[in-house]
Amino acid sequence: MRAAWCLLTAWIAACSAPPPGRPDAAPPEVDPTTLPPQVVTAQLASAVAGTPYGDRLLAKDGAPPYTWAVLGPGWLSVDPGTGELRGTPLPGAAGTQVTLTATATDTAGRSGNKAFAIQILACAPGQALACQQASAGTCRVGVQVCQPGGTWSGCDAGTASTSASGCGQGCAACGPDADRCVSSGAQCACGASASACAAGSSCCSIPDGGARCANLAADPAACGSCGTRCAQPLDADPTCDAGVCGATCRPGHAACDGRTLDGCEVNLATDPDHCGTCAITCAFSGRGARICDGGACDLACNAGFPQHCGLADCRAYDVANCGGCGAACANPGVNAGAPTGCAGPGACTYGCNAGWGDCAQGLDGCETDLNITPTHCGTCSNDCVAQGWDGGCVNGQCARCYRCPQNPGGTYTTCCGQKCQYNPGDMIYDCVPCAPGSLVDGGC
């Protein structure tokens, strides 16, 4: 029974999820360049019959840049280098739907594709146009509004135009902002102007109640129609291209999902997944957390590799980088072998020869003679002076000074770390060396 219980508890421990923060809790990293491309555009914008259309495709993974191709309606084309879609649906196509398949091919010849559907609307929802109705010989002007489903409402007629003739061949010639005949009744003036708008521009109302001439093909304040003001997305500026609203990202920002109309949400100076450009993803490293600094990939070095030696270059304190980035431990010469490691900033370790020590813990090797240095006697940590020894360091041992017996002449000889020996020839005590390692209590 005890063995079965141990097996059960071991199985529970093995099947339990690793605690948060453990390295084995993180999923394995996958290099996106080893995967085939994926088309990641979620959906394509609806089109308006008879009106220029534009949108953009986007892919990820693989080896960019991509080459784009589409299989779909004949009026739609794609720029193979940028993935931009352009074309004009037929005027009579309102209320229908077209399908297409978009394919992205990377530089390695791998491809990914995705199917899309585009709704063809009669108008852009929210769009408003001036409209006219003839009533009892008078031109009445009003507003026609595009409904949420992309269809036009009826003409909501308003006040009578001051031009009873309708200026030309019918009421439709003049609108609420251009109802005064000029050029002998053949054209309408625009607002307070004494003349009509030039060819290629239209007369559009402005918020103060007046009117102005606008190029509906290129004016973001009146794009495609007088009532269509292009939105200003986050970190982008509105554009109008062939009557289709778009947006251009401001410097340092990008729409890496390919849809500038919903904003340029990526800061290329700080986003490690899109650093400098949408296509650059900063690599992961065990030496530090990946960061994007000013559009360049870098690492925030961790404790194991504390030296930041340049972009994405974190180094530990080792023999080659002990005094800083590229500052190696010096070869200590005759007193030691090659450096064996680095204990910390500027603290090289060496395999010292017998009798020598690396007591300064620097980059200069084994500089201390342990046989004669009173403050590092025998070992770097043995300080004879601090312990009160007065005889220095002799052969790696702390020594004392002793007074020999009185000489025949009444004088005394003092020996430090040596022994007294009477010399009959001189009739005096001399100091002679002790045998190595023979000092006892500082003398022999």
Query: Cα-flanking dihedrals φ and ψ of residue 321, to 5°?
Result: -140, 45
What number is the average pLDDT over the span 236-244?
91
Name the strand (E) or helix (H) holding 130: strand 128-135
Structure token pair of residue 63: 């080896």
* 1, pLDDT greater than 60: no
* Contact between residue 71 and residue 101 where contact means Cβ atoms under 8 Å apart: yes
Quote the pLDDT of residue 20: 46
**If pLDDT is split at 50, 70 and 90, which confidence band does 21 have?**
very low
CA angle, 97 then 229 then 80, to 5°: 50
Global model pTM greater than 0.75: no
* 442, pLDDT greater than 90: no
Instruction: Identify the DSSP state of 443.
Output: B
Share of the chain above pLDDT 70, in %: 83
Average pLDDT, whole number, for the chain? 82
* 339, pLDDT greater than 70: yes
Q: 358 Cβ partners below 8 Å, 6+ apart?
A: 332, 336, 348, 349, 350, 352, 365, 366, 367, 368, 380
Q: Could you read off the pLDDT of 138-186 as tens digits, one per residue?
A: 556 678 889 888 888 887 766 655 443 445 344 444 555 655 666 555 5
Structure token pair of residue 142: 């009003």
* 297, pLDDT greater than 60: yes
Instruction: Report how far residue 211's alpha carbon sits from residue 191's, in angstroms, rounded to the nearest whole number.
Output: 5
* Domains of the chain by start residue, with CATH: 33-121 (2.60.40.10), 128-214 (no CATH), 236-267 (no CATH), 321-369 (no CATH)
The number of CA neighbours under 13 Å toward the Cβ of 262 is: 11
* 7, pLDDT greater than 50: no
Give which of 110, 85, 114 is closest to 102, Cα–Cα.
Answer: 114
Instruction: Report how far residue 361's alpha carbon sits from residue 348's, in angstroms, rounded to the nearest whole number.
Output: 6
